[in-house]
Chain A
């Protein structure tokens, strides 16, 4: 996890297109300027970044289901619950599954756990469109390679 680059996903652990589900792992860094402000003397992972982590995890699942032809963009966050603190250095297990596949949009349920303890969860809606330009698609392909996105799913 590189917070300053918004790289929230370290590695895809499993991705099941039939089950429309994904599990990724991500290590919260020990040090970050973000923790200097959130909060001084009591560093915690901000809820918005946990939400972003769930969104990126869901996003990789959707990219796989959309055969790497379309890019999902976060449209809404519902029922987001920050159930427990996430601290620097913790290893996150992030899970997401598609609960609805609409026309040009999709809805996922996502959650983050640490050592099997649920830390947060949310229902996320995404709009998806064809990749708006080759540059973004190229960037996503490079990230896909880094995080272990199944090569056979990159068309």
Chain B
């Protein structure tokens, strides 16, 4: 996860011009880092390319809107990285 976090944090820092040292595993991409939905598309694009996956943003958004999940489950970075690791593992299975 730490390697995944380092890559994701670097992507966020470079994509959104956020100081790298302010990005932690506990950071909430929206609430703490102030990343809006359009910027998150750029981040998703970069993550998809870097990890060879397709972040299921629509599914996650729907789950949050339906009250079946919280934004923390997907947008706190340590949780996002866990989801990424799961997607990578599923791809390689």
Q: B57 and A104: CB pair below 8 A?
A: yes
Set of chain A residues within 8 Å of B61, measured between Cβ atoms: 104
Number of interface residues of A (CB under 8 A): 11
A-B contact count (CB 8 A): 35
Set of chain B residues within 8 Å of A75, measured between Cβ atoms: 38, 41
Question: A105 vs B58: C-alpha distance in the bound complex, in angstroms?
Answer: 9
Taking CB as reference atom, which chain A residue is nearest B48?
A: A102
Contacting A at CB under 8 A, from B49-89, are: 49, 54-59, 61
Q: A103 and B54: CB pair below 8 A?
A: yes
Question: A104 vs B57: C-alpha distance in the bound complex, in angstroms?
Answer: 7
Q: Is A125's beta carbon under 8 Å from chain B? A: yes
Set of chain B residues within 8 Å of A102, measured between Cβ atoms: 41, 44-45, 48, 54-55, 57
Q: Is A127's beta carbon under 8 Å from chain B? A: yes
Taking CB as reference atom, which chain A residue is nearest B54?
A: A103
Provide 12 A-B residue pairs closer than 8 Å at the C-beta atoms, listed in order of the A residue. A76-B42, A100-B49, A101-B54, A102-B45, A102-B55, A103-B44, A103-B57, A104-B58, A105-B41, A105-B45, A125-B41, A127-B41
Binding site for B on A (CB under 8 A): 75-76, 100-105, 107, 125, 127
A-B pairs, 8 with minimum CB distance: A104-B58, A103-B57, A103-B58, A105-B41, A103-B56, A104-B57, A100-B45, A102-B44
